[in-house]
Amino acid sequence: MKFELLADRSEAANLVAEWYFKEWGRFSPDASVELIAAKLSRSMNRDKPPLLLLALDKDVIVGAVELKFREMDIYPDKEHWLGGLFVLPEYRGRGIGKILASRVIELARAFGVAMLYLQTEQLNGGIYAELGWLPIERVRYKGANVLVMELTVGA
């Protein structure tokens, strides 16, 4: 397994946008692959958030995760978010999601981020609970029931 930033493989933006649209497009009535790809273009950074990290297996892109900036508008005080964690169904169950999440935590720490947040439809916290994330609250956001979680990353 190898990892690359979207900034170094910009042609992957449309692929990731298709994944995101299929997985979460139903939550936004105005969503489209093109709109999602345009948003992802803002994540083509190397040295600051927002950025997107890709997981590759033998040069095949199999997963993605983002270090986002202010993901949920109902939490304007919460700046840095882990989001968009996606692994192709045929690659799930191999720990790739946990590795991607851990890599984003490392990047956030390197950027001096103190606290990370996320939202998940897994109301028990799923893999994030296993990685030490703590629940903040359950909310209904854009038509979905989600658990908002936090993780202390740095000092």
**Hey, what domains does the chain have and what are their CATH numbers?**
2-152 (3.40.630.30)
pLDDT tens profile 9-66: 999 999 999 999 999 887 777 889 999 999 999 999 999 999 999 999 999 999 999 9
Radius of gyration of the chain (CA): 15
Give the residue-averaged pLDDT of 121-139.
96
Give the residue-averaged pLDDT of 80-91.
97
| Residues of the chain by 3-state class (helix, strand, coil), percent to 5 | 35, 35, 30
Question: What distance in Å separates the CA atoms of residue 8 and residue 84, rounded to the nearest whole number?
Answer: 18
Q: Where are the beta strands (DSSP E) in 23-103?
A: 51-57, 60-69, 80-87
DSSP 74: T
Strand partners, 2: 56
CB 131 within 8 A of CB 97: no
pLDDT-derived band at 113, boundaries 50, 70, 90: very high
pTM above 0.85, yes or no: yes
Q: Taking 90 as the threshold, does the pLDDT of residue 155 lie above it?
A: no
DSSP 130: H
